[in-house]
């Protein structure tokens, strides 16, 4: 089977670093679904205005394939079959199909996002504005499906190791003098993204300064005592 994108995603997040680890964790984070030319017709979204959420099937396009000539075959095999979820601290391995790791056999992602509005434009056709996506800017989208509560919601479902490992968001400190680079809406979204702790799960160096692109800026921050401190904000030229 050959599949091609039906749309691409537009987001303030332009690199893998900082992408929320699941959709819905950053409900104020905006994004746009822009269809490819052959789907820029009002008919493709007819009836979608009656739904609140969408399922997106997309590609982990920012992933670099692992493995190489000098890498041990056994290591490659293990990494293909198992992954290290951030929720488990990045040290414990589970089966790839028992996780939602971005490293998938077919590199496909699945996300549920909230529809904010559908805009009809003259140049891009119907554009779907969504909130809370975990997609990087430029991500190819292969299908869009409406979320149907009676079939898709299972309130009493078990969630495996996720149920037993509590995730505590970080407190976020952004000095007042650095907040002026953002509108109130964008500032709220930035706080939500940073609260999810963009660092690799095994990093815990309070002296290290990390950098993350967000909405045309470069955010520099440190983390210590469960508080993320933004230390610099640079506008990108």
What superfamily in CATH does domain 7-62+104-157 come from? YaeB-like (2.40.30.70)
pTM: 0.89
96 pLDDT more than 80: yes
pLDDT above 70 covers a percentage of the chain that reads: 93
Q: Say if residues 122 and 34 touch (Cβ distance below 8 Å).
A: no
Give the pLDDT score at 41.
96
Residues β-bridged to residue 58: 109, 141
Average of pLDDT values for 217-228? 96
53 pLDDT more than 70: yes
Q: Looking at the chain, list the stretches that DSSP marks H as alpha helix, in order from N- to C-terminal side.
A: 73-81, 149-152, 161-164, 184-195
Task: Specify the DSSP element, H or E, that contains 141.
Answer: strand 140-146
User: 203: pLDDT confidence band, cut at 50, 70 and 90?
Assistant: confident
Give the pLDDT score at 78.
58
Give the three-class secondary structure for 151.
helix
The CATH code for residues 167-235 is 3.30.2310.20
> Which range among 9-18, 78-87, 152-161, 178-187 shows the weakest confidence by mean pLDDT?
78-87
User: 74: pLDDT confidence band, cut at 50, 70 and 90?
Assistant: very low
Give the pLDDT score at 98.
92
Which part of the chain has CATH 2.40.30.70?
A: 7-62+104-157
Which part of the chain has CATH 3.30.2310.20?
A: 167-235
């Amino acid at each position: 089977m050959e599949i091609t994108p039906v749309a691409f995603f537009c987001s303030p997040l332009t690199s893998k670093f900082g992408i929320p680890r699941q959709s819905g964790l950053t409900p104020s984070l905006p994004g746009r679904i822009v269809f490819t030319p052959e789907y820029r017709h009002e008919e493709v979204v007819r009836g979608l205005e009656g739904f609140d959420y969408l399922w997106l099937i997309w590609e982990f396009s920012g992933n670099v394939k692992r493995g190489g000539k000098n890498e041990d075959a056994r290591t490659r095999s293990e990494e293909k079959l198992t992954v290290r979820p951030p929720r488990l601290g990045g040290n414990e391995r589970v089966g790839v199909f028992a996780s939602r790791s971005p490293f998938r056999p077919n590199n496909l992602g699945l996300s549920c996002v909230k529809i904010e509005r559908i805009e009809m434009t003259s140049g891009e056709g119907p554009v779907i504005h969504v909130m809370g996506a975990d997609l990087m800017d430029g991500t190819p989208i292969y299908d869009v499906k409406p979320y149907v509560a009676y079939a898709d919601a299972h309130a009493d479902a078990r969630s495996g190791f996720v149920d037993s490992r509590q995730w505590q968001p970080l407190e976020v400190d952004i000095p007042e003098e650095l907040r002026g680079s953002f509108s109130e809406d964008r500032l709220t979204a930035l706080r939500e993204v940073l609260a999810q702790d963009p660092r690799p799960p095994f990093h815990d160096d309070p002296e290290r300064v990390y950098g993350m692109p967000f909405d045309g800026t470069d955010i520099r921050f440190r983390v210590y005592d469960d508080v993320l401190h933004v230390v610099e904000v640079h506008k990108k030229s």
